Amino acid sequence: MYEDKIFVPPLKIQGIKTKLVPLIKQNVAITQNTVWIEPFMGSGVVGLNVAPTNAIFADTNPHIISFYNQIQEGSITPHIVRNYLEKEGEKLSRYDDKYYLEVRERFNDSPNSLDFLFLNRSCFNGMMRFNRNNKFNVPYGHKPERFSKAYITKIVNQISFAEMKIKTNNWKFVCQSFEETISSADENAFVYCDPPYIGRHVDYYDSWDEKKELKLCENLKEFGGKFMVSTWDYTAYRHNEYINAIWSFCHKINKEHFYHLGAKEINRNTVVEALLMNYVPKNNCNEFAMLNQQLSLFNYNYNVG
């Protein structure tokens, strides 16, 4: 459960927490028997690395859930993915963006997990964005040899890793809203939430607004067990006013993070991330966390002052 190496999942998504996994792992409050509940699983990088024995992973994006369910059922395997990517990658190298658009259209007409993986790993900036009609609308991410041998092997290894974790643990993947997921959680469970960032992302399968942020906070209070929420604290230009407005009962740990994903300039800047917890986190017990918080405040005042 406490391995140092961070495993990268086969799916990419804006706001992926790969770099924050070590901090999250150090501060989650779980034991061997705790049920891990992740209502906003996205790429799955957090749960796959925390690797709890029992878990429920949920998301409103049906393509993510069906992708992981198919790995669990065995209809997506490293071997199947390699064959598929070699075949489709070869067509992509011949017809370039024309072929990308053909796969995108095929996926939007009749979604399937392999095409979802193909689009996710060849689109612009690893974005996972859908229009109002839930059609995938990210353009092609031009690169010579998009699906090179080395790239295919990298993806296949990521599938193998996910498969191994899914098959050796007792995990469920469900397509549902956070309200349903949290209301079904027993108070002995641990809930880790990484919702779309309020005031920053609007291009997920489901949009996010103040009503949802308030509902999330209310649902977590009602749940009664321990939880952790990932959110943003501040950038050089503004801060997240909801932290003081609704999450002030939580303990907070900060970490600076540079986002490479996302087309908008505002999503490609340094953001100070916050982990909010309704219990005293391990890092709070030492001076580092206090120093880190003071430093964050200093940076914020310095940047906006």
Ligand X SMILES: C[S@@+](CC[C@H](N)C(=O)[O-])C[C@H]1O[C@@H](n2cnc3c(N)ncnc32)[C@H](O)[C@@H]1O
| Burial state string for 105-136 with b = 16 or more CB within 10 A and e = fewer than 16 | eebbeeeebbbbbbbbbbbebbbbbbeeeeeb
* x/- letters, 63..102, toward ligand X (CB under 6 A): ----------------------------------------
Our finding on whether 45 is near ligand X (CB under 6 A) is yes
Our finding on whether 177 is near ligand X (CB under 6 A) is yes
| 18/93 with CB nearer ligand X | 18
Closest CA to 60 of 76, 42, 37, 35: 42
Our finding on whether 199 is near ligand X (CB under 6 A) is no
| 99/116 with CB nearer ligand X | 116
Identify residues 127-166 at the interface with ligand X (CB under 6 A). none
- Work out which of 34, 51, 59, 127 binds ligand X, going by CB under 6 A: 59
The least distance separating ligand X from the CB of residue 207, rounded to whole angstroms, comes to 7
Total residues at the site for ligand X (CB under 6 A)? 21
Dist. CA 86–CA 83, nearest whole Å: 5
- Work out which of 42, 126, 199, 225 binds ligand X, going by CB under 6 A: 42
The least distance separating ligand X from the CB of residue 86, rounded to whole angstroms, comes to 26
- Work out which of 23, 24, 34, 39 binds ligand X, going by CB under 6 A: 39
- Work out which of 46, 123, 228, 253 binds ligand X, going by CB under 6 A: 46
- Work out which of 206, 238, 239, 269 binds ligand X, going by CB under 6 A: 206
- Helix (H) / strand (E) element for 199: namely none
Token pair in block for residue 122: 């060849």
Q: What is the largest CA-CA distance in the chain?
A: 57
Between the two ends of the chain, the Cα-to-Cα distance in Å is 43
Our finding on whether 61 is near ligand X (CB under 6 A) is yes
- Work out which of 17, 25, 251, 255 binds ligand X, going by CB under 6 A: 17
Tell me which stretch binds ligand X (CB under 6 A): 147-155, 161-169, 193-201, 276-284: 193-201
Dist. CA 250–CA 229, nearest whole Å: 9
What is the torsional sign of CA 11, 13, 17, 19?
positive
The least distance separating ligand X from the CB of residue 168, rounded to whole angstroms, comes to 21
Our finding on whether 256 is near ligand X (CB under 6 A) is no
Hey, how many other C-beta atoms are within 10 angstroms of the C-beta on 227?
A: 26
**Strand ranges (DSSP E) for 194-269?**
226-234, 251-258
The least distance separating ligand X from the CB of residue 8, rounded to whole angstroms, comes to 10
Q: Are strands 251-258 and 35-38 parallel, antiparallel or unpaired?
A: unpaired
The least distance separating ligand X from the CB of residue 282, rounded to whole angstroms, comes to 20
Closest CA to 184 of 32, 176, 250, 230: 176
| 45/198 with CB nearer ligand X | 45
- Work out which of 205, 223, 227, 232 binds ligand X, going by CB under 6 A: 205
Token pair in block for residue 229: 């929420």
Q: Are 191 and 225 in contact (CB under 8 A)?
A: yes
Our finding on whether 213 is near ligand X (CB under 6 A) is no
Dist. CA 254–CA 256, nearest whole Å: 7
Interacting residues toward ligand X by CB under 6 A: 13, 15-17, 39-40, 42-43, 45-46, 59-61, 177-178, 194-196, 204-206
